[in-house]
């Protein structure tokens, strides 16, 4: 069994893993398992009123956990995989713990070979949040991972140094960019013309 398979099995078993993305390292757990999601919040020391996104391997896979409009699908096909989080309506299978009780959830499809392999291998979507304690800097190398996160994770997937930065967070239906990151200008242009 390779490292990605071990990480996917750990997620399926309700454990936490650390994985690389095209921005920073992420802290992954089964995004449909409320208890696993709670462990993510505990490990990060994250406020429960701040939602966490979920990662999937494709737009098609996202439809199993969300209700996408045609405009959202078109946007996702244009910008994903990539450093973009798309806020969409969640399905009932997505627990309140992940979304802070909101009816919408952020969706990520990272443009990173290891992350996509993990998302493909796991049975469920995986939490997509940075692998650091809230309020501390994001991690771009495994050797910079804090002890609290390192000790909580069952598997650490090494993808070398990541580029850094953050994803652009966008609500396509509202036409709102909540956080500007990579591709923000192109996203503004797409929202204005579609």
Question: For residue range 57-99, what is the model confidence (pLDDT) as tens digits?
Answer: 999 999 999 999 999 999 999 999 999 999 999 999 999 999 9
What pLDDT does 1 receive?
77
Q: With a cut of 50, which residues of the chain have pLDDT below it?
A: none
Mean confidence (pLDDT) of the chain: 97
What pLDDT does 182 receive?
87
What pLDDT does 110 receive?
97
Which residue has 């309140």 as its token pair? 96
Strand 176-179 to 168-171 pairing:
antiparallel
As beta bridge partners, residue 18 has 27, 156
Q: How far is CA 25 from CA 6, 81, 162, 166, in A?
A: 17, 16, 7, 11
Task: Report percent pLDDT > 70 for the chain.
Answer: 100
What span, in angstroms and rounded, lies between the C-alpha atoms of 138 and 54?
18
Backbone angles phi, psi at 142, to 5 degrees: -60, -35
What pLDDT does 141 receive?
97
Q: Do the beta carbons of residue 25 and residue 130 sit within 8 Å? A: yes
pTM of the entire predicted model:
0.96
Superfamily name and number for 3-193: DHBP synthase (3.90.870.10)
What pLDDT does 178 receive?
96
Q: Do the beta carbons of residue 150 and residue 157 sit within 8 Å? A: no
């Amino acid at each position: 069994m390779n490292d990605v398979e071990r990480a996917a099995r750990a997620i399926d078993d309700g454990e936490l893993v650390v994985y690389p993305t095209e921005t920073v390292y992420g802290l992954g757990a089964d995004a449909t398992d409320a208890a696993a999601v709670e462990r993510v919040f505990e490990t990060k020391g994250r406020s429960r009123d701040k939602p966490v996104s979920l990662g999937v391997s494709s737009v098609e896979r996202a439809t199993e956990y969300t209700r996408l409009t045609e405009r959202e699908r078109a946007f996702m096909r244009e910008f994903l995989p990539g450093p973009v989080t798309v806020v969409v309506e969640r399905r009932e299978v997505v627990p309140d713990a992940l979304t802070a009780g909101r009816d919408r959830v952020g969706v990520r499809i990272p443009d990173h070979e290891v992350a996509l392999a993990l998302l493909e291998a796991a049975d469920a979507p995986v939490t997509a949040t940075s692998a650091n304690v809230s309020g501390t800097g994001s991690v771009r190398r495994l050797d910079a991972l804090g002890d609290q996160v390192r000790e909580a994770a069952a598997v650490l997937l090494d993808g070398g140094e990541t580029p850094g930065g953050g994803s652009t967070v966008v609500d396509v239906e509202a036409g709102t960019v909540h956080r500007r990151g990579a591709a923000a200008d192109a996203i503004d242009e797409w929202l204005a013309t579609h």
